Homo-oligomer: A and B are copies of this chain.
Amino acid sequence: MKEQITNQSIQLFEEKGFSQTSIQDIVDALNVTKGTFYYYFSSKEQLLMDIHLKYIDNLLIRQQQILDNISLSHQEKLTKIIAMLIHDIKEKGSRGRVFFREIRHLKRDNIGKVKQKRNQFRLNIEDVVQQGISAGEFKQDLRADMVTFGILGVANYSYNWYMPDGEVTPDELTAIFSNLVLSGIVAD
């Protein structure tokens, strides 16, 4: 039931926005009582925090598996991180959009906790870029921090427009975007 409440809420938050969705809307859509909601979550804000933490923790775990794979080049690690974000759109697109759009409705200290994890995800990519520079795999004059924002921009912006069931498959889009941003950084 906790998962059903979460999934229903994500759908409503995406359609109407967090502020415009009441706990009543959520329980009505599931045909359960408010008591059921409060059995699992103390408030709408706590539910939103739960969505945020699960989302970013899951990304961090899967990112770590990529980072720990010593058989991959730095370029391959970046491609696999882009692939992860693009492939997630099909199953987790709504969750991702709620994650990006609704963070400001969390309490201040919760925003801090989520931002710290988001920053970790970004800094892990920056480390890969920096290591690729040090290893001579990437160009020597790159700014790893700005290149990282560029990579995240290409991947995260696709949550706003990309339709995974359209004519371009997630694998094709990953190839196009990896080629777009990585051709510019790989050393000649």
Interface residues of A (CB under 8 A from B): 17, 19-20, 101, 104-105, 143, 146-147, 149-150, 152-158, 161-162, 168, 173, 176-177, 179-185
Q: Give me the 9 closest cross-chain CB pairs, A-B, nearest first.
A: A153-B157, A183-B184, A19-B19, A153-B154, A180-B184, A146-B176, A150-B180, A153-B153, A150-B154
Interface of chain A, main secondary structure: helix
Assembled-state Cα–Cα distance A117/B157 (Å): 18
> Are A158 and B153 neighbours in the complex by a CB distance under 8 Å?
yes
> Are A161 and B180 neighbours in the complex by a CB distance under 8 Å?
no
Assembled-state Cα–Cα distance A17/B147 (Å): 30
12 A–B pairs (Cβ distance < 8 Å), ordered by A? A19-B19, A146-B173, A149-B157, A153-B156, A153-B157, A153-B158, A154-B154, A154-B157, A157-B157, A183-B183, A183-B184, A184-B184
Assembled-state Cα–Cα distance A78/B17 (Å): 34
> Are A161 and B183 neighbours in the complex by a CB distance under 8 Å?
no
Q: What residues on B are CB-neighbors of A17 within 8 Å? A: 17, 19, 104-105
Of B101, B150, B154, B183, which one neighbours A176 at CB under 8 angstroms?
Answer: B150
Nearest B residue to A146, CB-CB: B176
> Are B162 and A177 neighbours in the complex by a CB distance under 8 Å?
no
Q: What residues on B are CB-neighbors of A176 within 8 Å? A: 143, 146-147, 150
